[in-house]
Chain A
């Protein structure tokens, strides 16, 4: 249960000879953008839609584990786990060499250090504001009158570094408006915004200590400009980008349920 979308992932036990280390596989996945703020109804509706899309019935699902900002509101869940543990588990499953996981969702970003089993070793988030998250980038793209896709791509056309000093989304928007009024090209502003998000997220990752390969999960993986800004901020050539990045935490929760850890 993310703050913007509801994701559902089903896992099933694999019975494949010669692949002993890969015990679980993804049976189905589904994403829903809730139309209203009723989290109970959104969870129920997303679950029903996911069951239908995967050709399953409620009776066939042995355990339901909820994670994310609205995890406590999933009444039919048998357990709930934090997005930190779920993110680490899912990221290491998708990218087995990853030991540092950076999770940037709609409202929150966090840095996680994980072991080879996907267990959390160290984590840090930002409890105070959304300035290091997708909602911040989305709000700034609206100010620039660009779609999110164009916003990310525009930033790649800039080689300027414009520091954004505001730590808060509200004040940062004023800073963006000032840059627009001073005729700063949109691509330079887009890069400044994404550099600022990357800088905040990197600070969280550095707090836990960057070890091994870095995997980025969450919806911001789809923003090509942010991925580039993050690589620059981390000082690395490569960041692991799993398939279906916005589902990784849901997958992690499902894997913890399957392993009997939730």
Chain B
């Protein structure tokens, strides 16, 4: 399942997509949990009883602001969450 967490507003679309099928037996040892400087990710048990990563509820309405530190202007050449997720389950829409 691809879970899109985020929103669309007047300034654009801000979604973090997580391909939970790649997440189930994570070869990266859940590295996303510690890679994100804001600790935006958590492990949940989804409705199909799989343990997968998700964006914490409290961050879902403000992704455009929460992620600014890691976006190119913040000095990163690649996003820590996407780099840490070696199966390539995490994507940003913006």
Instruction: Tell whether A pairs with B.
Output: yes
Q: Could you list which residues of chain A lie within 8 angstroms of chain B, going by C-beta atoms?
A: 81-82, 84-86, 119-129, 165-168, 200, 203-204, 207-208, 256, 261-262
24 pairs, A vs B, C-beta closer than 8 Å = A81-B47, A82-B47, A85-B46, A85-B47, A85-B48, A119-B1, A119-B48, A120-B1, A120-B47, A121-B1, A122-B1, A123-B3, A124-B4, A125-B4, A127-B61, A129-B7, A166-B10, A167-B9, A200-B8, A204-B8, A207-B93, A208-B4, A261-B49, A262-B47
Complex CA–CA separation, A84 to B46 (angstroms): 11
Q: Could you list which residues of chain B lie within 8 angstroms of chain A, going by C-beta atoms?
A: 1-10, 13, 15, 46-49, 60-61, 93
Structural contact, A207 and B15, CB atoms closer than 8 A: yes
Which of A81, A166, A207, A262 lies in contact with B4, CB distance below 8 A? Answer: A207
A122/B8 contact (C-beta < 8 A), A81-B47, A85-B48 known: no
Min CB gap B52→A, angstroms: 12
Complex CA–CA separation, A208 to B17 (angstroms): 10
Complex CA–CA separation, A85 to B9 (angstroms): 25
The chain B residue sitting closest to A128, CB to CB, is: B7
Chain A residues near B2 (CB, 8 Å)? 121-123, 208
Give me 18 other A-B pairs in contact (C-beta within 8 A), A119-B48, A261-B49 excluded: A81-B47, A82-B46, A120-B1, A122-B4, A123-B1, A123-B2, A127-B5, A127-B60, A128-B9, A128-B61, A168-B9, A203-B13, A204-B8, A207-B13, A207-B15, A207-B93, A208-B4, A256-B47
Chain B residues near A207 (CB, 8 Å)? 4, 13, 15, 93
The chain B residue sitting closest to A110, CB to CB, is: B4
Chain A residues near B7 (CB, 8 Å)? 126-129
The chain A residue sitting closest to B62, CB to CB, is: A128
Chain B residues near A165 (CB, 8 Å)? 10
Complex CA–CA separation, A232 to B93 (angstroms): 26
